[in-house]
A and B are shown apart, each in its own frame.
Chain A
Amino acid sequence: MTDTTIAAPAVATPAQRLAVASQAQLVWWAFRRHKLAMAGLVITVILYVIALVPGFFAINDPEAQNARTPYHPPEAISIRTPEGQWQWPHFVPERLKRDPDTLAAIYVPDPEHAIPIVLFGHGYEYKLLGLFTTDIHLIASANPREPFYLFGADRLGRCVWSRLIQGAQISMSVGLVGVALSLIIGIVLGGISGYYGGRTDFVIQRVIEFVLALPSIPIWLALAAALPQGWPATYQYMMITVILSLTGWAQLARVVRGRFLALKTDEFVAAAKLDGCSEKRIIFRHMLPSFASHIIASITLAIPAMILAETALSFLGLGLQPPTISWGVLLREAQNIRSIATAPWLFAPGIAVVLAVMALNLLGDGLRDAADPYNK
């Protein structure tokens, strides 16, 4: 039990800055060192920006069906003319024709009529943040009668890219609401359990263990099947998030409980009690900041689980229903092997899910590693 010298700072900052650095700053500095976590942060932010204003990033109206372009393949952005010269980004429209030999429907490109892509161009009208009506999009086709299918079209001629972007709003937010609910239940139960110990802890801990031991999908399926079919979309959305958080809280509760138990034995908590702090003050002023970063890390890691859950449920047909657009609903189109074989771009929502989950996992991991800057 001998004195140790100050641990060398993990980050090479001047000693003075380090000395007055608050916990939040230390966490941020430690986080910044993780390149991958930073990448996760950037991607997550981009995804949520998209989710906030999907209309801006979409190209065509997600609802608009087009009988002339079913299963239209994706159109590439070309920056060279057929002769090989540089040009402003264009796309080459394709026409639906019949193959003379097989009589199957195929798409033939029409390079004569390449259409330029306009940045911040005009497209369909949408409501920005639900308040303003505008028709400006990030990229748009110069010719409003020739839609630009960046990721192709589905069975009904709807633009996959735009639907993908639109679906981000629901898929990324389901996670948030679900986690918020789980968090509330989790913190309350986990906190009570960890702080008071004894019998309450025993009971709550058994409940947590029980919930964690149950497989979630059968329960979700059963709950989702119980939802009346005729409910409006927003109701369905709310109920789905409630269902997801009914089992999701247990993981968070366990983390919170663990942290409280560990903190209870820390001497500065005893010191606070001797200082005359009320229990409320001890919990909120002294203990909570200690594990705020752990909670944030746990939340960030809980969101992908929610996203995957909603996707799975909607994919099976028990979650959100069309015409609501979420990535899971979009993936229902991909369930049919025949359609997938001819239109593999219908997998795009799956890629979006993978990207979102990976980004959030990287972010959460980075936060978790950085959460305890004093424990190196």
Chain B
Amino acid sequence: MSNPMAAEPIAAGQPAEGSTVLTVRDLVTHFPVRGGVVKAVDGVSFTVHRGKTLCIVGESGSGKSVTARSILKIVDAPGRIVSGEILLDRPNGKAVDLAQLNPYGRDIRRIRGKEIAMIFQEPMSSLSPVHTVGDQIIEVLRLHLGMGKKQARERTIDLLRQVEIPNPHIAVDRYTFEFSGGMRQRAMIAMALACNPDVLIADEPTTALDVTTQAEILDLIKRLQEQKGMAVIFITHDMGVVAEIADEVLVMYHGKVVERADVETIFHAAKHDYTRMLIDSVKRLEHKSEVRLKREPIPENRPPVIAVENLSMHFGDLKAVDGVSLSVRPGETLGIVGESGSGKTTMGRCIVRLYEPTGGIINYRRPDGSVIDLVQAKGDDLKAMRQQVRMIFQDPFGSLNPRMTVAQIIGEPLLVNGIARGRELDDEVSRLMQQVGLEPAWRERYPHAFSGGQRQRIGVARAIALKPQVIVADEATSALDVSLRFQVLDLLMRLQDELNLAFIFISHDIGVIRYMCDRVGVMYHGRLVEMGDAEQVCNAPTHDYTKALISAVPRPDPRQRSLASRHRYIDPNS
């Protein structure tokens, strides 16, 4: 289906930079549900200008994604726009109200992909798995610009080059699953920009990416924005990203706009409590927690409770963990930070013996002072070790058996190890729940009745039930909203002090590591590239990779935009 009117892409830059391109006024989108409506978007207004970036920020359930989809009228059924205006200012001076258009009609279809384009969060599932990347881009070109096959293919290769995909003439015939996460997102961007739209809507495009890849993608979007003078609506929950890229910020909460201002005001002179709360949560993670700052440093000569020597875990040819050595002392929190594929999760699972390491030693100091090698432990030793070295999982949904009550879940380790039963068990479960801040009266409920943050607390209660010495926390806060994150972190630190626990805290989030940990190890491709005091590693790293990692983390302060000047790491082995 080609539009006979336009054979060439509209030349960018003709309308003045800074002029309004999109105006949203009092947008209301409802979802009818059993017994009422959910007001997903409840009276939202904002304007978007050419060449500028508007960030829509909010936590889950705030309605930011639905707002974006309402603009293009692709809200998932049964949602629909109830009232409001969405005015698109065209270069020829006329404006059209998108809210009035039929969602299946020709008019809105002409706008989608051509004047307003959208990119999504998960490029793996947002691109077709059975069509080549080239095919999907060519489709847009032929649809809106009426290009012939050959011309479209050439333009596609050109687009892939613009988004810095290597060997574009080969990449054009590849399938989505043959690319890495960052590359897929670049392909999606190429597809969105194929017809030089006036507005690019980006719905959490970097949330699923590593922080270094995220920096690359943010760079790319910025560069393309400057080249083409388009407006960008960037949806995210990450305040650091907002500080880095936004010109204007829209804060949403439960479908309403809580505050709307330029980025400087939002970060330094926010008016609304909710905004301030969001900024505070993030700023708090910029420093070590107060609790820890006040604490006495752990004496150097205290013997470590876990000392790992040259640990390796090979899966066939893949060296997930390649000769890692580290140690952690009682009462200490050792952070392990790395990106995807670094092997940090595998490392954690080796320590608790979920995996059987292929080599190395894990020396564990038992409460009576004796030391055993966890890698070799068997039988009773292994059983005892399982009681003392416990794990908290990442996924609050998947780590709790949906068919068991909370009492049964928390009580399981106690029951199975013959520590308590019956009345005694019940009392202990209630006590544990109180210790983690949950209401003991709820112990007969099932996990589905709790929120994500509460479920994570259940996981914590389960972990401390056996009074362990060491807890491995595998991305324990990654699935939680920012405002909930430091609540769980504070809880963990309180428990650490109460029970003299040692934590091995695995995360990809530098802020959380900085907040919580005493010492930090940085992993890259299965190796430990740097290890040291948390302050030093996070603020003044020595290894090149760590430098690249730290500098790629966006800081929540628009006055300190540093992404552009970040350190780039080039792997000498690749």
Report A's interface with B, CB cutoff 8 A. Answer: 1-8, 12, 15, 18-23, 266-268, 270-278, 281, 286, 289-290, 374
Contacts and interface: CB of A to CB of B under 8 A. Distances in A.
B179 interface: no
Given A1-B207, A276-B416, A276-B417, A286 B393 contact: no
B340 to A, nearest CB: 12
Interface stretch (B130-138, B320-328, B444-452, B524-532): B444-452
Nearest to B480: A3
A3 B481 contact: yes
Interface string B335-357: 00000000000000000101000
Given A3-B60, A6-B448, A6-B449, A271 B391 contact: yes
Contact of B386 (A3, A8, A274): A274
Interface residues of B, number: 48
A276 B379 CA distance: 11
B568 to A, nearest CB: 26
Given A2-B59, A3-B452, A5-B61, A270 B393 contact: yes
B166 to A, nearest CB: 28
B34 interface: yes
Interface in B395-445: 395, 398-405, 412-413, 416-417, 442, 444-445
Contacts of A277: 412, 416
A182 to B, nearest CB: 25
Given A6-B449, A274-B354, A266 B480 contact: no
A270 B354 contact: yes
A267 B395 contact: yes
B570 to A, nearest CB: 29
B395 A20 contact: no
Given A268-B398, A274-B390, A3 B479 contact: yes
Given A19-B445, A270-B354, A277-B416, A1 B398 contact: no
Contact of A374 (B402, B405, B479): B402
A324 to B, nearest CB: 43
Closest 3 CB pairs of A and B: A19-B449, A3-B452, A267-B399
A267 B462 CA distance: 14
A21 B207 CA distance: 35
A12 B444 CA distance: 21
Contact of B451 (A6, A22, A23, A374): A6
B76 to A, nearest CB: 14
A23 B401 CA distance: 11
B403 A276 contact: no
Contact of B403 (A6, A12, A273, A290): A290
18 contacts: A1-B479, A5-B451, A12-B34, A19-B442, A23-B446, A266-B398, A267-B398, A268-B399, A268-B400, A268-B402, A270-B354, A271-B462, A272-B412, A274-B386, A274-B390, A275-B412, A275-B416, A289-B403
B401 A272 contact: yes
B35 interface: yes
B59 A286 contact: no
A8 to B, nearest CB: 6
Contacts of B412: 272, 275, 277
B160 to A, nearest CB: 28
A274 B386 CA distance: 6
A326 B433 CA distance: 60
Contacts of B459: 271
A2 B60 contact: yes
B38 to A, nearest CB: 8
Contacts of A1: 207-208, 478-479
A289 B393 CA distance: 22
Given A3-B484, A270-B354, A20 B444 contact: yes
A367 to B, nearest CB: 17
Interface of B: 33-35, 59-61, 207-208, 237, 352, 354, 383, 386-387, 390-391, 393-395, 398-405, 412-413, 416-417, 442, 444-446, 448-453, 459, 462, 478-481, 484
Contact of B445 (A20, A266, A270, A276): A20
Nearest to B415: A275
A268 B401 contact: yes
Contacts of B416: 275-278, 281
A374 B447 CA distance: 11
A317 B386 CA distance: 62
B503 to A, nearest CB: 16
A246 B395 CA distance: 42
A271 B460 CA distance: 12
B298 to A, nearest CB: 26
Contacts of B394: 267
A5 B445 CA distance: 17
Contact of A274 (B352, B446, B479, B480): B352
Contacts of B400: 268, 271
Most A CB within 10 A of own CB, among B60, B401, B446? B401
Contact of B449 (A18, A275, A286): A18
Most A CB within 10 A of own CB, among B393, B417, B448? B448
Most A CB within 10 A of own CB, among B60, B416, B450? B416
A22 B407 CA distance: 13
Contacts of A271: 391, 393, 399-401, 459, 462
Contacts of B383: 276
Nearest to A21: B446
A161 B395 CA distance: 59
A275 B400 CA distance: 12
A266 B394 CA distance: 12
Contacts of A5: 60-61, 451
A289 B401 CA distance: 10
Nearest to B204: A2
Contacts of B442: 19
A20 B446 contact: yes
A271 B383 CA distance: 14
A276 B386 contact: yes
Most A CB within 10 A of own CB, among B60, B405, B446? B446
Contacts of B386: 274-276
Contacts of A270: 354, 393, 399
Given A12-B35, A275-B417, A290-B402, 9 more contacts: A2-B59, A3-B480, A15-B449, A271-B393, A271-B399, A275-B386, A275-B413, A374-B402, A374-B448
Contacts of B402: 23, 268, 290, 374
Given A20-B444, A23-B402, A23-B403, A3 B208 contact: no
B399 A4 contact: no
A9 to B, nearest CB: 9
Nearest to A290: B403
A276 B445 CA distance: 23
A278 B481 CA distance: 35
Contacts of B398: 266-268
A20 B399 CA distance: 19
Nearest to B349: A270
Contacts of A23: 402-403, 446
A242 to B, nearest CB: 34
B72 to A, nearest CB: 22
B352 to A, nearest CB: 6
Nearest to A278: B416
Contact of B393 (A19, A267, A273, A374): A267
A276 B388 CA distance: 11
Contacts of A15: 449
